[in-house]
Amino acid sequence: MVSVSSRVQALAVSAFCVLVAVLAGVLVDGRLDRHWILRGMTLALALCCAALLAGDQSRRLRRIIVAVGLAMFGVVFPVTTTTWASPPEIDFALQVASDAAAAAQKASRSAVTIDDVKAAATARGGAVGSPVDARGADAYPLILRANPALGRPWACLSFTGLDAKVRPC
């Protein structure tokens, strides 16, 4: 059996963690808030665990802790945040954001209006409200509901020019 040094193991695990983090980041829509901060923190923690792997491995408990940390921060967290990134209400909000931005561009405007969002949500069978008054909407952020009859689940949508930000409310 060939023995690989702990430094080579740490380098390989670090490269794998960076690859998983980049692939998971590419798979998530960039309009979703806060995902890059979370992804950066989990990557940093995974790299810290890989650095511990390169250090002294004399204790079995330390090896177990490092292995669990690498599995959680290097694989489990990035993969689960990718799969949980777009539940149906978030997917609906992203579709409405795309439709509203396309309507604004078609009208040669540099910003998306609330009426654009209302029209896009209505065309997709949803409803629009605001955090202050769930029935009306006159300012961002807007609450989007995929099913107008249900109060929840919903997603919050805001625009800066043509750039949309979608987040859970």
For 51-92, how does the pLDDT look when each residue is reduced to its tens digit (9 = 90+)? 777 776 667 777 777 778 778 877 787 777 766 666 778 888
The last residue of a domain, from among 56, 83, 110 = 83
* Whether residue 26 is found in the same domain as residue 40: yes
The model carries a pTM of 0.59
* Whether residue 159 is found in the same domain as residue 95: yes
* Whether residue 103 is found in the same domain as residue 57: no
* Whether residue 117 is found in the same domain as residue 154: yes
- pLDDT exceeds cutoff 90 at 28: no
| pLDDT greater at residue 157 or residue 81 | 157
On whether the CB atoms of residues 120 and 99 are closer than 8 A, the answer is yes
CA distance 48 to 10: 10
* Whether residue 57 is found in the same domain as residue 32: yes
The last residue of a domain, from among 21, 51, 83 = 83
Reported as a pLDDT band with limits 50, 70 and 90, residue 100 is very high
Query: Is 35 among the domain residues?
Result: yes
Written as one letter, the residue type at 138 is D
* Whether residue 100 is found in the same domain as residue 35: no
The helices-and-strands tally (H runs, E runs) of the chain is: 6, 4
pLDDT of residue 32: 67
pLDDT of residue 1: 45
Q: For tokens 């690859």, name the residue.
A: 19
- Among 90-104, 124-138, 142-156, name the one with the lowest average pLDDT: 124-138
Query: Is 1 among the domain residues?
Result: no
Domain extent, residue 72, equals: 6-83
* Whether residue 25 is found in the same domain as residue 92: no
DSSP character string of 61-102: HHHHHHHHHHHIIIIIHHHHHHHTS--HHHHHHHHHHHHHHH
For 12-23, what is each residue's pLDDT tens digit?
Answer: 877 887 777 777
pLDDT of residue 139: 67
* Whether residue 105 is found in the same domain as residue 44: no
On whether the CB atoms of residues 130 and 137 are closer than 8 A, the answer is yes
Q: Which of 125, 167, 155 is nearest to 32 (CA)?
A: 167
Number of domains composing the chain = 2
* Whether residue 14 is found in the same domain as residue 68: yes
pLDDT of residue 102: 93
